[in-house]
Amino acid sequence: MTSTLDQLRSLSVVVADTADFQAIEHFKPIDATTNPSLILKQAQSPVTEELISKIREQVASGVFQSLSEATLDLSIRFGFEIAKRIRGYVSTEIDARLSFNTDAAIEQAQRIIHQYSGLGIPKERILIKLASTWEGIQAARALEAQGIGCNLTLLFCEAQAIAAANAQATLISPFVGRIRDWYIAKGEAPSSVETDPGVLLVRRILNLYRRHSVGTIVMGASFRTADQVLALAGCDRLTISPGLLQELETRTEPVKGLSRSASSGGELTEIDRDTFLLQISADPMATEKLADGITRFVKDQETLESLLIN
């Protein structure tokens, strides 16, 4: 009997949300996404002990100008190993401390692409992950104009999705699970996956993009349950943790894809900075989760830096 995971693959591009090389080899995703938290988790694994030791030696000998530079090099080396195991995109994240600095984010993105190129990985295989702040989205606009693909992450509302479409971002990552977490913390747990606010947001964005023929890829992310994933079968891409991939591999129930909205052929109205910020501020969930997501990534980045000097 065909597994639920294999059925899902026929409806959406399956992406591995991990820096675990062994999991990537097992599940054979098309793409893979990483972030500071996933890199930190894998950096503490015995599988990557040799790589971490090498970076520590280089830090100690003064090869890098800063710990930030060393952790960036580590992320790219993880990405290089992942790229050897898949045939699609590898997403590598900009330092979260640059989430409100457009120029610095662009500079670091260009450095990432240059380093990947030196390892033989062309820029067409790399997506630069940027937080969906106004500054991050403007960095994506500039990078896309240079032919550098971007993945706008930490996306929690339609204002971010519209601004990302205006910037012609290659891909956006709405965070399904973190949205659900916020509502549960407020005592408003959804009664079913069909009322899950994270699932519903992704469906609204998909419909919006399809109605207006937006080319930006929608990739559901940050799933808490396999049922959340299945509720978005038919979404362009779904980035899924190894634990949920394993569960989907063992399940066999039929998978029904999302219905598709007809295109109107019109373009989305350009959203300016003031409107963007006003709409974000009017959405407590988006405001809190965007700030929380950046803060968490900064903390994990700093923990990863400390790991390289111990």
Residue ranges in the chain assigned as alpha helix (H):
4-9, 21-27, 36-43, 49-60, 67-83, 102-118, 134-145, 158-166, 176-185, 197-211, 226-231, 242-250, 273-281, 284-307
Query: Which candidate in 129, 186, 289, 299 is catalytic?
Result: 129
Q: Are 59 and 309 in contact (CB under 8 A)?
A: yes
Kindly report the CA angle at 225 between 221 and 227, in degrees rounded to 5? 100
Rounded distance, CA 295 to CA 291, Å? 6
Q: How far apart are CA 169 and CA 1, in angstroms?
A: 38
Nearest to 293 by CA among 91, 93, 112: 93
Q: Are the CB atoms for 83 and 30 separated by under 8 Å? A: no
Establish whether 129 is a catalytic residue: yes
The residues assigned a catalytic role are 129
